[in-house]
A and B are shown apart, each in its own frame.
Chain A
Amino acid sequence: MDLSSIKQPVLDGDAQATVAAATEAVAAGVSPSAILTEALIPAMEEVGNLFACGEYFVPELLMAARAMSAAVEVLRPSLVTSGYEAAGTVVIGTVQGDLHDIGKRLVAMMLEGSGFDVVDLGTDVAPEQFIAAARDSGAAIIALSALLSTTLPAMQSTVEALRAAALGDTVRVIVGGAPVTDEFARRIGADGYAPDAPGAAALARRLVRVGGEAAVN
């Protein structure tokens, strides 16, 4: 079966058509994990590229992410029985004092779109909340967003608190947001930085694939 019939409705942000195409593919005998890894995830990757080059904007990315998750919901039962495992769990939030939401939401959507389970803690998230959520969810990655120069110190203290909480050697911390730079990420001891949402997804995939090698170079 031609999996592009599933990709296109994701690109169009059409949830109904995506669900219909995925359902049809299952009925035609395509494995749910193939639908996910060969159609839905690549479609979101393409959406990410279109966003990065300024052809898609926040709404288009949002609609595509919703289309994909609607299809994933339909596939979930069979994904679970077939033993498919998500790429891992990411706990994400905007750091304490910072109320900017949009960029962090996009990152969360792109992470979901590339096969992660995502726990979005919202904005103004205290270090303890990150720690508790990471423990509860067994997170592989903790993602911190900050948009203000004045909340960069909160990002730093959150990274320190996460380190002190000894969540396990494999848990990785990634950071981003307009004033954050690669250099700053390195300085505060984060494991990775990306400038945008598609980059965040690629970074997270790289981090879980390499089994947690630090990706700040």
Chain B
Amino acid sequence: MTGKERILTALALRQPDRVPLYIHGINEAPIIGIGRHLTDGLPEPKLFHEMDPAEKMKLLDTLFLLHEEFGVDGFTSFEIGHEVEVDAEHVKDDWGILYTRSHHGLPVAKGHPVTNAADLEAYRPPEPSRSHLLLLDMGRERFAGAKALFWLMRGTFVRSWRLIGMENYMINLRADPVFLHRVAQMVENYNLQQLELLAEAGLDVLVVEDDIAGTDHPLIAPRHFAEFVEPYNRSLVERAHALGLKVVRHSDGNLWSLMDTLLASGYDGLNPLEPQADMGLEKVKDSVGDKICLLGNIDCRDLLPDGTPEQVDEAVRQAIGDAAGGGGYILCDSNSLHPGVNPENCIAMFEATRKYGVYDAA
């Protein structure tokens, strides 16, 4: 099977030839750290914007290379070219949202252009741009059908709070629900338009990336989630399915109290199944494994940063034992290969997936 077939088979809850391997997100430092095992001439770890054009090309090439060399079956792309630099520490995107850059991860939204209904009245959202899908184009050309092409699309909750601010969002659940619904509709429209472009560009799997939960509980009440968030994400699922795509839902944290609502949306897969948030594979497989494909769970909080390659090997073996039976499991970490993970541990994760993930031998 090709990587793409493997991923699509697992997402269809069937059994591929072996357990597919996927990287949901990866920051610059681990690309460089892992890449050093494959190629020379990589710069010291730094942020993308700090690299010169040659270093940027090298980084991208290394990203592709590590997917090839370690047999990662899916490639994740996301929007690029929609941000402009404001100063050394800040960028602004085409929604007018201001982000603070960070050496510990992706830039974080800290300046919010819309506060209330009056602002929204005057606000014009951006139009999705074909040119922002460049990374998807590059992946499609490089892998030529060998790997499943994923796209990270920020969902309703994340786009809404980025636009209006997290606390402001939460206050308006009571103060001005109509405002929140209108923001959500605007986000939905944008996402639906972008989805058309993505499907034309050859996408295989849409990832609705919409973190909604902390370690113990969702950030907002399940009834608010069911009213203000999920209906707008659900229409993405429906349209994506109509376009022949698979859809994976990503949210960190403890999702148990939202599970019924999530399942009702009809996603094909659920990611990243954080072990510390009671999303252990045995339990998840047992309760929903026949309804939704599971992607994730290899602990990026403690294990991948501080564990040993032997411990990672064991965790992968365990995960495959718990979740891969009969198909419907894609091996992936529990959020992202963030700047804190140890590259040797990532490699151990890739290699162990090969070692333990063969179905015929099982």
Contacts and interface: CB of A to CB of B under 8 A. Distances in A.
Interface of A: 13, 54, 56-60, 62-63, 66, 97-99, 101-103, 105, 124, 148-151, 178-179, 196
A102 B340 contact: no
A103 B213 CA distance: 12
Contact of A150 (B166, B219, B340): B340
Contacts of B215: 178
Contacts of A13: 174
Interface in B118-172: 166-167, 170-171
Nearest to B29: A150
Contact of A196 (B102, B174, B216): B216
Interface string B214-230: 11111111001000000
B283 interface: no
Nearest 5 pairs of A and B residues by beta carbon: A150-B340, A59-B170, A99-B108, A149-B340, A149-B305
A16 B151 CA distance: 45
A99 B102 contact: yes
A101 to B, nearest CB: 7
B104 A178 contact: no
Kindly name the residue among A57, A97, A151 whose own CB sees the greatest number of chain B CB atoms within 10 A. A57
Say whether chain B's binding surface is mostly helix, strand, loop, or mixed: mixed
B338 interface: yes
Contact of B174 (A57, A58, A59): A59
Given A97-B102, A178-B276, A58 B340 contact: no
A20 B306 CA distance: 53
Given A57-B218, A102-B166, A178-B276, A150 B171 contact: no
Contact of B214 (A99, A103, A150, A179): A103
B185 interface: no
B160 to A, nearest CB: 13
Given A58-B220, A149-B306, 18 more contacts: A13-B174, A54-B216, A57-B221, A57-B224, A59-B171, A59-B173, A62-B167, A63-B170, A63-B171, A99-B108, A148-B104, A149-B301, A149-B302, A149-B340, A150-B305, A178-B214, A178-B215, A196-B216
A150 B167 contact: no
A97 B214 contact: no
Contacts of B276: 178
Nearest to B105: A148
Nearest to B277: A178
A62 B102 contact: no
B239 interface: no
Given A150-B305, A150-B338, A98 B219 contact: no
Interface of B: 100, 102-105, 108, 110, 166-167, 170-171, 173-174, 214-221, 224, 257, 276, 301-302, 305-306, 338-340
Contacts of A151: 104
Nearest to B252: A178
Contact of A57 (B103, B108, B219, B306): B219
A63 B218 CA distance: 17
A155 B78 CA distance: 32
Contacts of B218: 57
Nearest to B175: A63
A65 B250 CA distance: 31
Contacts of B100: 99, 124
Contacts of B301: 149, 178-179
Contacts of B257: 54
Given A105-B167, A179-B302, A57 B217 contact: yes
Given A13-B174, A150-B338, A102 B104 contact: no
A59 B305 CA distance: 32
Contacts of A179: 301-302
A150 B302 contact: no
A196 B102 CA distance: 25
B171 A62 contact: yes
10 contacts: A54-B257, A59-B170, A59-B221, A101-B166, A102-B166, A124-B100, A148-B105, A148-B338, A149-B306, A149-B340
A101 B102 CA distance: 14
A186 to B, nearest CB: 17
Nearest to B339: A150
Nearest to B169: A59
Contacts of A149: 301-302, 305-306, 340
